[in-house]
Structure 1
Amino acid sequence: SEGLEAEAIEAYDRVLALGFEHLPDARRPELFVQAGSTLRNLGRLDEARALLERG
């Protein structure tokens, strides 16, 4: 997300709100890893950990 973490997490949140089960199985791990990494970059470590554990 190269400096655009705040915007990126909004997009990830929208996807998660719609239901990640609508994503192809192969893309689901990517969503959780990338969203978790973005949360980490924003200093939201507890949320990042919870999301990674969920995925």
Structure 2
Amino acid sequence: MNQNQLITLKSDIQSFLKKDVFDLEKKVLSKGWDATFDDLEKKREKVKSIGYWIPQIPK
């Protein structure tokens, strides 16, 4: 991965976190793990599908 690719990846992951994860984190803290488990699973699947799951591991 070259520097430009890394910069783009970092920006994309930051955007994903802001859009999809931070609000869910608030929900987990206010309603608990069990109440948000299905939402967490959906986010995990989304992360895997777009390739951000363990990005430090080469394919």
Q: What is the TM-score normalised by the length of structure 2?
A: 0.43
Larger radius of gyration: 2
More contact order relative to length (CA 8 Å, sep ≥ 6): 1
